[in-house]
Chain A
Amino acid sequence: MSQSLADQRWGLSLKGGTALVTLQGDWIGADAVVNPDQVAGLLAHGAVTSVAFDSSLLRRWDSSLLLFLSELRRFSVHRNIVFEQSGFPPAACKLLDLLPVDTVAAAPPFETGNLIGRVGQWCLNRGSELRSETALLGALTLRIAPAVRGATQMRRIDLLAAMQDAGIRALPVVALVNILVGGIIAFMGAVQLRKFGADLYVADLVGIAIVREMGPLMTAVVMCGRTGGAYAAEIATMKGSEEIDALRAIGIPLDDYLVLPRVTALTAMMPLLYLYGSAVGIFGGFAVALMILPVSASMFFDEMRANVTAGEILFGLAKSLAFGLFIAMVSCRIGLAAGRSSADVGRAATTATVTGIVGVIVMDAVFALCAHAMDF
């Protein structure tokens, strides 16, 4: 019986309650793998109480044989059939001993609830996360002034190092970007305005565009890519190497030690970088205007002075202050929320940069709307 199931590699004969499985020939390669369901069908006969093996005709074998035997054993254990290993090649016996007799029962999982419950819980979690994040950002903002006064645990040396990094070291790239943007605005304006004989208004265009919009925006975008990404990557790396755990375990407040120096430094440096960037941008525009238009330096700057007011500069300063605060806080939070792998570091840097740039542009639009509403 059951002989129909067998192939040339094995045969089955029943003697009383004992099923004798004869193994023969080569069990090599994927062709020799027997489907587990077929193995289960082998011993499905009710009268079988034990299974024995004869491997005297077996030649070479690999894991296909092992799979066959372990499936048979698993099935035997389930059916309370005695599994007689003595007929195996000794090496197969050893390997079979390494395998669990049955699939190991996993530990009971914690309660997870049904789908609706999980979705609801997810929403509640996100909601409370958003609330606590906002509260954290607010609390952090309020700590900047005490930090500068020295009333927190922030170390002054960390603040100075962060200021040097976000300030002096950022000057070349801020200058490069702003001088080019100034030049581009002047060039575009000159080509159009010359058609109307309004050459001189290039000065107003460059002045207002740089001081009011492009200066704060381009500086913030540069700082976001340069410093925001670095903050997130730095903090995420510290997380991966357990440095953050070490701070937490000793009880050093992460905000005071890691976040405050960076936020304070970037918030303080951004307006200065804006002023510097705008000056360089205006110079770029002036240089282009001087080259392609019949205007003199005094004409250019007189015209600009008449229209670029102190209010415009204050508006730009206010914007860059807000941008600096936003970029630093968001980058630090993203770094702290990152996972522990090296991929998470890259992801944190990317997320911080993208969130920062998009956020800055959205904030700029909001500023523009508010200014428009206030007729400014």
Chain B
Amino acid sequence: MAHESIPPLRVRALSIGYGTQVVQHDLSFDVNARSIFAIMGASGCGKSTLLHSLMGLLRPSAGAVSFQGNDYWSADIAKRAEIGRRFGVLFQTSALWSALTASENVALPLQMFTKLDAKSIDALVQMKLALVGLDTGWTSLPADLSGGMAKRVGIARALSLDPDILFLDEPSAGLDPVSSKRLDDLILELRDGFGVTVVMVSHELPSLLSICDDGVFLDASTHTMIAQGAPKQLQANCTDTTVSAFMNRTSAKTVTESSATHASP
């Protein structure tokens, strides 16, 4: 709370890649407190890779990521673990621990990091699962859950330690439009309710437009960010053909052509 003015997440001159392959370079942006921040871009442009290096899973090749003013990658392991404990994470595939039931998945972080007794943990777990709207399947193994249910359990797990920042990797991927809409509403409610900052990767236009209030757009061919701002504004105002093609669901080629024909007469 003392650091209200410092953005919860600040990225400066970040380069990421695997081995000698550059995925994205020269990324700089701030994520403001309580915003829902979108990492946008076409498939394969490095959105998930960027998210992985923000959440501490992939060391960037250059640049800095800082949380509440603390530089993450230059900190020692203990400090990194301390910062990381404030993260909640939902993976693209949900990545629930397959040997544990839904409620055990939510309970594990509490068992590992708190000294709460079994009864309190049970109560917390039930509350979190109810919060994400899961009323059945608490004792099922992840393999027996539907995709939408697994996402909800994943979010409940991400919320189990009441994080400051929630990282969501394509939360609505693979869900039907209704479930996807419900998940969007849930993310909004959680942000408003818990005051959590959300960083999400997505290429689902409806989600991006309806819930995100800030974001960056990554380009696959130039390997860097080419636009920044709320998806709605980008849709309305962005002059870059790649971004406006993405946001208006046209193919980049048609945009180039139509702008070319407008220019020629």
Contact = CB atoms under 8 A, between A and B. Distances in A.
A164 interface: no
Nearest to A248: B57
A107 B84 contact: no
A109 B22 contact: yes
Nearest to A234: B99
Nearest to A249: B89
Nearest to B55: A249
Contacts of A248: 56-57
Interface stretch (B104-112, B180-188, B196-204): B104-112
Interface stretch (B2-10, B90-98, B227-235): B90-98
Could you say which of A97, A104, A243 has the most chain B C-beta atoms within 10 Å of its C-beta?
A243
A245 B22 contact: no
A110 B61 contact: yes
A246 B85 CA distance: 12
Interface in B12-47: 17, 19-22, 25
Contacts of B85: 250-251
Contacts of A98: 253
Given A109-B22, A250-B109, A252-B112, A243 B97 contact: yes
A246 B87 contact: no
B223 interface: yes
Given A243-B98, A245-B57, A249-B89, A110 B20 contact: yes
Chain B interface size, as a band, is 35 or more
A241 B98 CA distance: 9
A76 B113 CA distance: 65
B261 interface: no
Interface in A233-280: 238, 241-243, 245-252, 256-257
A251 B57 CA distance: 10
Given A104-B221, A112-B20, A238-B98, A250 B161 contact: yes
A117 interface: no
A155 interface: yes
Given A110-B61, A155-B111, A243-B98, A250 B89 contact: yes
Contact of A110 (B22, B81, B92): B22
A110 B20 CA distance: 5
A243 B105 CA distance: 11
A108 interface: yes
Contacts of A238: 97-98
A246 B21 contact: no
B183 to A, nearest CB: 18
A109 to B, nearest CB: 4
Contacts of A108: 22
Interface in B211-246: 221, 223
Chain A interface size, as a band, is 20 to 34
A242 B111 contact: no
Contacts of B93: 241-242
Contacts of B112: 153, 155, 252, 256-257
Contacts of B223: 107
A162 to B, nearest CB: 11
A97 B254 CA distance: 10
Interface string A62-91: 000000000000000000000000000000
A97 to B, nearest CB: 7
A241 B105 CA distance: 15
Interface string A123-167: 000000000000000000000000000000101000000000000
Interface string B132-168: 0000000000000000000000000100010000010
A104 B223 CA distance: 12
A243 B95 contact: yes
Contacts of A110: 17, 19-20, 22, 61
Interface string A102-126: 0010011110100000000000000
Contacts of B221: 104
Contact of B95 (A107, A112, A245, A257): A245
A93 to B, nearest CB: 12
Given A104-B221, A243-B97, A248-B57, 20 more contacts: A98-B253, A107-B21, A107-B25, A107-B223, A108-B22, A110-B17, A110-B20, A112-B20, A238-B98, A242-B91, A243-B95, A245-B57, A246-B97, A249-B89, A250-B87, A251-B81, A252-B108, A252-B113, A256-B112, A257-B112
8 contacts: A104-B221, A107-B22, A110-B61, A241-B95, A246-B89, A249-B84, A249-B87, A252-B108
Interface of A: 97-98, 104, 107-110, 112, 153, 155, 238, 241-243, 245-252, 256-257
Interface of B: 17, 19-22, 25, 52, 55-57, 61, 81, 84-85, 87-89, 91-93, 95-98, 108-109, 111-113, 157, 161, 167, 221, 223, 253
- A-B pairs, top 8 by smallest CB distance, nearest first, are A242-B95, A249-B89, A107-B22, A107-B223, A251-B84, A246-B95, A109-B20, A242-B91
